[in-house]
Amino acid sequence: MDAELGAFSMNRLATKQYTVASPLSFTGIGVHNGQPSSLIIQPAPPNSGLSICRKYEDGHMSDSFALVHDRVARTYLCTAVDLGDSGTISMIEHVVSALSGLGIDNALLVVDGPECPVLDGSAQKYVDAIVENGITLQPAEKKFIKIKRSIIVRSNDAFAALEPYNGRAFDVEIDFESNVIGRQRMIFDWTPARYAEDVASARTFGFMRDAKVLRQAGYALGSSLENSIAVDEDKIMNTDGLRYEDEFVRHKLLDAVGDLALAGMPIYGKFRSYKGGHALNALVLNGLFASEQNYEIVGASDLPLEFDALQDLPHGINAESYIRSVG
Ligand SMILES: [Zn+2]
């Protein structure tokens, strides 16, 4: 950031769209198929949003597809998107959560297989790489989908809801029949710095009692204590324990940030969920887009005080202006 830019200018710049400053590569395995997988996050032009394409062994690339809710192909255990003739890519929610959580508007994901790498089961490695390499502020105003009418979708006693709210908030509650999880609730008023601090490192989790059935069905073949919290009845199998006391609900919130980014733009409003997951997250977006009366698209400068959460970037991140000052 140029030294002569004062607080007011920073405020104005924070309302600009962001992309990653340089391509970022990640390699690992797919938690479900157990196969090696790599992913590159590439910078993308203003107003292009988040999109995805598949890269094949011979180097050729599929078309790229916008990461939006009507491309969701499956929501069992993770969120998978449909790339037409190039099949599906699953487990997109953690990398998309990192991008949306840090307020990145435009990026292209290049994935070399049918599943994104699980890495450590959280969004931490994506966030660390983005913070280390910086973001580029782009010459276009940040846009939001502002919720105008409440939408709620239910499945038995579980629900997901979007409501009008002056801010970008997530209120997520879970309730599991396990003493190490039980009932946990997290209310999160989004800023990029808070996402990096309080959400990004929460890992996915699973129950030992489900593992055998899942593996027989071809899922969780790559899951291990390196990339998941394993819960066996009332104890945690990971020798290092938890990263947060309520890591489970924080991970559900991480998933929700990723799934809701498939609105195509950040949502300005409140998301609430009880016993939710990928399926209800996808359904609430379908409900949102079922009527144009439910929302409107607004620019950051139309929001109260130009939405000052945008100024709270993670410590140490370099936000470089796309248009540099001369001299
Ligand atoms: Zn997850």
Kindly report, residue by residue over 174-214, the tens digit of the pLDDT: 999 889 999 999 999 999 999 999 999 999 999 988 888 88
| DSSP helix/strand/coil, 159 | strand
Question: Which is nearest to 119 in space by CA: 193, 21, 199, 37?
Answer: 37
Question: Which is nearest to 257 in space by CA: 245, 273, 243, 242?
Answer: 273
Angstrom CA distances, 225 to 211, 213, 222, 240, stand at 12, 18, 10, 10
Parse the chain into domains and list their residue ranges. 7-321
**Separation of CA 228 and ligand 1 centre (Å):** 10
**Separation of CA 287 and ligand 1 centre (Å):** 22
Instruction: Give the C-alpha separation, 191 to 243, whole Å.
Output: 21
β 50-54/65-66 pair status: antiparallel
Instruction: Give the C-alpha separation, 15 to 301, whole Å.
Output: 7
**Separation of CA 299 and ligand 1 centre (Å):** 30
The band of 3, judged by pLDDT with boundaries at 50, 70 and 90, is very low
Model confidence at 10: pLDDT above 60: no
Please state the pTM of the whole predicted model. 0.93
pLDDT for res 31: 84
Instruction: Give the C-alpha separation, 174 to 129, whole Å.
Output: 30
Residues across the chain: 327
Active-site residue identified among 60, 251, 278, 315: 278
**Separation of CA 103 and ligand 1 centre (Å):** 19
**Separation of CA 248 and ligand 1 centre (Å):** 10
| DSSP helix/strand/coil, 101 | helix
Angstrom CA distances, 153 to 223, 295, 301, stand at 31, 16, 31
**Separation of CA 6 and ligand 1 centre (Å):** 39
Residue 278 falls in the annotated catalytic set: yes
7-321 topology per CATH: lpxc deacetylase, domain 1 (3.30.1700)
Model confidence at 7: pLDDT above 60: no
Question: Which is nearest to 91 in space by CA: 123, 126, 56, 118?
Answer: 118
- 164 Cβ partners below 8 Å, 6+ apart? 146, 147, 148, 149, 150, 269, 270
Instruction: Give the C-alpha separation, 143 to 77, whole Å.
Output: 30
pLDDT for res 327: 37
Q: DSSP assignment, residue 118?
A: -
Q: How far is CA 237 from the centre of its chain?
A: 26
Q: DSSP assignment, residue 67?
A: -
The band of 86, judged by pLDDT with boundaries at 50, 70 and 90, is confident
**Separation of CA 258 and ligand 1 centre (Å):** 9
Phi and psi for 146 in degrees, rounded to 5? Answer: -90, 125
Model confidence at 2: pLDDT above 70: no
